[in-house]
Amino acid sequence: MGRMRLLSEAGGSTAEGFCLVKNVQVRTNIKGSIYLDFVLADCGGEVAAKLWDYDPALHGKEYEPEQVIKVRGSITLWKESEQLKIERIRLATEEDAVDMSLLVPCAPYSSEEMYAELFETTEAFKDDDLRRLTQYILKTNKALLLRAPAAVKMHHATRGGLLHHTLSVLKAAKAICPLYEGLDEELVFAGAILHDIAKLSEMDISELGLAAGYTAKGRLIGHIGLGINMIGSVSELLDISDALCMLMQHMVLSHHSVAEYGSPKPPMFPEAELVAQLDMLDSRLYEMFDALEAVPKGGFSERVYALEDRHIFNHGRAKANLEEQ
């Protein structure tokens, strides 16, 4: 995610305004004093925040994820990352009339439109089993899919982010498939649509479309294992052929490419390889563009954990930058 709106609009080193509690924990420092360790968010991004010397009588008794709060604090740096030292805090009230569209980070496109484009792609499948499998999974998960992020913290961690990532992979697949005559395009498209579908049960997704963390299934099994199980169960329910079920399960199983990233098997046929590569490409480009949002021309970003702690360089030649010149 990019820089938090609250910080970007701050006058100097002090920030004040409304934001969402994405996560909060009560902790004790080495001196025995209690403090609150927050992750705060708005439509621009998120920031780690600390409320030192926490006093429930002074600061309020209960803060929980998804609450809207008003804070004032000092912007500091900790290990090259921005942090907010909270000085004042309170829950928002109805009288505040907070504009929620400024608080919840969203995908850049309508969730309904993105979902419709995925579904329209499956409508054109000539393979009846492949069409029934993908459409059943899309239909039965639509409500949650419309708001789900693609991650808790990393790429596409926004409302509708899972659809955004999925559609980006699908569009890239549609552009590349005509270059290689040996590919089964429908298999590639189905793999693109379903490769991350089990993130819906991997993450604890709120009504706001944010993920505060992982479910027990997410921690113990993960979206790859859950996805294999989902495809197997639906295939049995719909009487999908064992051969097609196996191919789709392998594409989900292998889409992280190597064991280090969670895939116990590498891609073992071309369509699986393509989905894995496009999944990686989209996630990495998203992280790069996200890191560059607050970087001036000729500057470098902070270290990006998801990109092996690389600093990302803004060369200034991106289309948006050239149009501004």
Q: What are the sequence ranges of the domains in the chain?
A: 5-102, 111-287, 295-324
Instruction: From the options 3.90.420.10, 2.40.50.140, 3.40.50.10070, 3.40.640.10, give the CATH code of 5-102.
Output: 2.40.50.140
User: Shortest CA distance to 65 belongs to which of 88, 46, 87?
Assistant: 46
Nearest one of 197, 143, 142 to 169, comparing CA atoms: 197
Residue 305 has pLDDT above 60, yes or no: yes
If residue 236 lies in a helix (H) or strand (E), which one and from where to where?
helix 222-238
Q: How confident is the model at residue 285 (pLDDT cuts 50, 70, 90)?
A: very high
Report the range of poorest mean pLDDT among 40-44, 78-82, 182-186.
78-82
Mean pLDDT calculated for residue range 136-153: 94
The pLDDT-based confidence of 129 (bands split at 50, 70, 90) is very high
Q: Topology of 111-287 in CATH?
A: Hypothetical protein af1432 (1.10.3210)
Give me the pLDDT at residue 122, please. Answer: 98
Q: Of all residues in the chain, what percent carry a pLDDT higher than 70?
A: 97
Find the angle CA(221)-CA(225)-CA(230) to the nearest 5 degrees: 120
Q: Is the pTM of this model over 0.85?
A: no
User: Residue 1: pLDDT band by 50, 70, 90 thresholds?
Assistant: low
SS3 268: coil
Q: How many CB atoms lie within 10 A of CB 47?
A: 24
- pLDDT at 290 (0 to 100): 86
Are the C-beta atoms of residues 174 and 123 closer than 8 Å to each other? Answer: no
Q: How much of the chain is in helix, strand and coil states, percent to nearest 5?
A: 45, 20, 35
The H or E element containing residue 50 is strand 45-51
Ranking 55-59, 152-156, 224-228, 317-321 by mean pLDDT, the lowest is 317-321
Pairing of strands 211-214, 203-205: antiparallel
pLDDT at position 18:
95
Total residue length of the chain: 325
Residue 179 pLDDT: 97
Angle 185-194/270-292 helices, nearest 10 degrees?
Answer: 50
Q: Is 322's pLDDT higher than 70?
A: no
In the numeric block, the tokens 């089990």 are attached to 198
Give the C-alpha separation, 227 to 121, whole Å: 20
pLDDT at 319 exceeding the cut of 80: no
Q: Once rounded to an integer, what is the mean pLDDT over residues 257-286?
A: 92
